[in-house]
Chain A
């Protein structure tokens, strides 16, 4: 008995205060993982109560033990002890929102059928009283035959009473009579319990009503939605930039300093360009991830996210997605990594997967340097409509192409690869609530640490492998070359250079030569890397964008004397970057979020095919007009 710690399962419907209670019991000592074989997140923590260390398992939110999603199926399997390495809990803590007790009692009835010792935690009792409701907790405990504790999690009310109870679930009161079975019997039981304990039903939340009159107003609500989303996007984009620049500069300085320590040679190059910039490639995402999740969880916990999803659901529904996907796709404009992570808020696994698979099509900020270089070099800087420049229009066109492609891809994926059982769209609009800061902080920390651990290792590894490919085998450049030209010579003869030459026949139909091929290989690390790689190949100084621009404008094929970068090639390359998933961080994140290698492989594959096809078409069409 003393050897294995007591295991307690935390069960409750969404918005019932389950996560707040979990945090109140365990502090920030949660371990986050996955259940074997599914993408459902597994959260466990330790609650220290006196001398007892209790394992608390935060089970996914569910309305019922008749599962309709993988998340909910996990709840039932855990309660039955059907998952390997996850023994059935010794006791269950069921959280129930006192304001929606009727619905929670259905879940309670189903849980009592399992025979596991259970105690009920009534949350939001302060809100119940504020809304004029009256509920007799002692009678509820009598009627159910199990302990009932009222807890207002963020104020700590009732926590001590609950903690006194938890260490010994075997001693909890059990129902004297067998719990109801079957739907009709349960329904009658719920009604009779409610009649005995709820002397006054709560009215509407006046505060929420008042806020909703604005937030859900046909005109005002749409305006609020637009403003919130623009601010949201702006904050992720603009606020994260200084921090990202700072990290970028810090990584650069660190790489420089490491050269001071290791001197010249491969070791120094490997540490500076392979390891440190690889770590940098991971850490650079942290500002966006922290900001995005802070905003996301505040909006979610306050209750606005459900309203936003409600307002925009119709639009997303037309391509087979749902309202909650909007936020994930919008976040992907800054970067697909936080965008894909934001898809966690989507309960339907299919909707979530479609959202993840199309998120890389949104124009992320890493594409901007590539677009800037090519548009700067090949689109004339003339004004077409008053002050509106052709270059700006070209950029806008690329953004729009990404959006349209994402929506079409979503519609197609929904009808083909991911066809099958849909779960109904339903969304609860919870009353507006102020989330405890601790809760937001722990959610944000959970998301950030998961990214660092899971995606970070893959990004670092890939970065080191790419460095090796771009560096080896070493060849001695002819002695008369300038340092820049010598670097270009070595790059051409590296493994990546060989790959560039090897794939030249494959990419020639797109108008690309081997140099662009090397750039494409290198851009697997991150899209903007193609710019620095091209700079290296053209032996241009990376800082001097003008000279790289001139270099690619002046480059000709040695055998024919034709220019390498025609307008058709430039357009084709731009279109390639709109579609292709040239980003290992995104792939690593998809791997982490879907808990499989299959889906990142699929995403990479389908986007590569799209990119190839669209580039081919662009090259032909633009070439025909030129």
Chain B
């Protein structure tokens, strides 16, 4: 694949729950609300399906920022999934911060299926923040680079 842009383009992985945030992203799409192309969405059934390993893996493979989006507290399709996710991520992000992955590189956001505007705003803000922070080299596994 050819290089399209020589300037720095951060890579952002967004985990979105199927019921709220993925639908919110769809709404952002159908409302034509743009956000940077380097945000890549991975669909999970619920935010509680996001294993901390997935986030570590993303950083290892060179992601510059990871964001997890779920239903608003109290609105989880599976009743309580997002509460588990919130606790896990609080612990994980603290640990990552300790390891030198700045807290700003990780984020949890609640986006409902009706919040296309919020989805696009959050992604734009997050991408801008990651641009400021620059490349993440702390956890990147250089052996994975071709």
Bound together? no
Point out residues on B near A: beta carbons under 8 Å. none
Point out residues on A near B: beta carbons under 8 Å. none
